[in-house]
Chains A and B, each alone.
Chain A
Amino acid sequence: MAHQFPVGFDMPVHDRSRISLAVLLCGALYICNCLAGSESTGSVATGADPRTLLADFRRPAAMPVTKSNPTTPEKVALGQMLFFDPRLSGSGVISCATCHNPALGWTDALPKGLGHMGGRLGRHTPTILDVAYGEPFFWDGRAATLEDQAKGPLTSAAEMNMPAEQAVKRILSIPGYVTAFEYAFPGKAVSVDTIAAAIASYERTVVSNSAPFDKWVAGDEGAISTAAKRGFALFNGKANCAVCHSGWRMTDDGFHDIGISGSDRGRAAIAPGIVQLEYAFKTPTLRNVNQRAPYMHDGSLTTLSAVIDHYDTGFVSRPSLDTQMHRLSLAPEDKADLLAFLDTLTSVDSPAVVPQLPQ
């Protein structure tokens, strides 16, 4: 017996109790909510030394392993070629790298991406930097895996406009690719699944290097400025950034309405019935963030200063606004310190190699 409860986050407690009893009497799983606690505060917010939080931002020692698609050198090499190959698009002129340009922080420096025949897309192009560590994908999280994500733009009529069958035909028409697929996927036929698996394998190698902030986390006191250290304290305290921009990539991989005006429902279109997911979008990483203007899911803010101003006073209040959003009353020097901190998150990364494409 199926029970579907499109229960909103703001459902009154008495309604929850009624539904719980109904489900119990049906002999199925029931649920009851005990709102017992009160909001906790971080140690920085209470005035503790922000250095006590550094462990929460330490880079992991090892890459995550993708059991369903283990990374191999052959897959990475193939995926690298596919990523940069415009022949994988219906028009023959768009590759993954057209929007995820390594010279532009693996995005495109545009407010919103350009797709098939120059059509304007609905959202800002997210970076692929450090995607090996996060899930789900897209601003609205509609792809659970990087492999699923890779299929999206490829086959979307608005983006690369390359239907799966057509993509396979085009690959099979290029002998160099046929050989590369045999090496990468022995015994498997070329398919949109193996195309996506190879692209995802390459994308997982796009990892940021150690930044000045990481050196400070590791104990090098001189790695970042005093202003940046104050910025880190603000980031975790008064400015409340770390409540979502948490961990070494500075993202909780979660979805929040941060009050950007507009009609794009974001995550709510994927997970309807949850008030707090209306206008909610995935928290982006802040690694190398000063190389990726413009900002936000709609590319509406052109500088990091504008982003800080948005969080300070510029957001739209509405029922779905994340409960952590509130006016910050940041002083100009606070904003300068936050910017100094954000600058420490940028690493000097190895230049991306554009491969020779197979013929």
Chain B
Amino acid sequence: MNRASLLCLVTAVMLAGAVRAAAPITVTQKGLQFSVEDLNVSKGQVVVFVNDDRTAHNITVTGEGVNLNGGLQQPGAEFKVPFVKPGTYQVSCGIHPKMKLSVTVK
């Protein structure tokens, strides 16, 4: 299998996954809070974090052996996190650690 064919196969697998996944869920960051404290999503579902504050935020995801830092999220910016592995994750803001959200993936 040449490189182009492999790339097509990988893309097809990704797209197939995207088709099966439930619709994205939007969580807003406003008033230094997430719009929800707990969230249940299905495997592969995308959570879209929208910064509706005047200040920059950051999305940090930990749990199930994962430790991800999403970088600086400017006011108005979206940040998409597809949760592909079942388990429980803690989402917080590295700049404002009081902002917390628990995500359960089934």
- Residues of A that sit less than 8 Å from B by CB: 1-11, 16, 24-25, 27-42, 56, 134-136, 141, 144, 243-244, 246-247, 252-256, 271, 273-274, 276-277, 280, 322-324
Contact = CB atoms under 8 A, between A and B. Distances in A.
B79 A254 contact: no
A27 B84 CA distance: 7
A58 B16 CA distance: 50
Given A34-B80, A254-B32, A324-B56, 19 more contacts: A3-B65, A3-B66, A3-B67, A5-B69, A9-B71, A28-B65, A29-B83, A36-B76, A36-B77, A36-B78, A39-B75, A56-B31, A135-B98, A136-B97, A136-B98, A246-B32, A253-B97, A255-B95, A280-B95
A2 B65 contact: yes
A16 B70 CA distance: 9
Contact of A11 (B52, B71, B97): B71
Q: Is the interface of A mostly helix, strand, loop or mixed?
A: loop
A16 B102 CA distance: 24
A271 B94 CA distance: 8
Interface string B54-68: 111011010011111
B1 interface: no
B14 A31 contact: no
B71 A8 contact: yes
A274 B58 contact: yes
Contact of B96 (A16, A32, A56, A252): A252
Interface of B: 10, 14, 31-32, 51-56, 58-59, 61, 64-85, 89, 93-98
Contacts of B79: 31, 33-34
B67 A4 contact: yes
Contacts of A25: 10
B76 A276 contact: no
Contacts of A252: 32, 55, 96
B76 A40 contact: yes
A1 B65 contact: yes
Contacts of A8: 71
B71 A33 contact: yes
A322 B58 CA distance: 13
A56 to B, nearest CB: 8
Contact of A256 (B31, B73, B80, B95): B95
